[in-house]
Amino acid sequence: RYKFKIGKASQLRAGNDVTIFAIGIMVGEALTAAQNLAKKGIDARVINMSTLKPIDETIIRRAAVETGAVVTVEEHIENGGLGSAVARVIAKDIPVPIEFVAVQSYAESGPPADLLKKYGLTAPSIEKAVKKVLKRK
């Protein structure tokens, strides 16, 4: 059973090939991507990063070391969000490849499902990032 705790992330799916760190509404897309990747023989771990500040450095470090590749997924501009926070933790001493699935520029408003698709915040985009990061592993 999931219990929210500030500063603590939770692993929602085990995996050994890559870790997908996701936050907010992108957690569902990350789980869908992991299920699709499993059908292709890629074992993706999914971690719900329920808070950015404080960030759960312990789970980030452990997952990066154990899987050797990382993808971050967020409904936020790439700079200054989850991807930046995870990269900061990993850059200190864990040399693993990382890819970012995030908004690349300031976004417009509109129906949420349309915007997620337009800005590449979908399970297929996550799958593409996982395949890209695994090539660098």
pLDDT in tens, 84-114: 999 999 998 999 999 999 998 887 899 989 9
pTM passes above 0.85: yes
DSSP 86-112: HHHHHHTT----EEEEEE-S----S-H
User: What was the pLDDT predicted at 104?
Assistant: 86
pLDDT in tens, 50-80: 999 999 999 999 999 999 999 999 998 888 8
Decide: 26 and 73 in contact? Cβ < 8 Å.
yes
pLDDT in tens, 12-53: 999 999 999 999 999 999 999 999 999 999 999 999 999 999
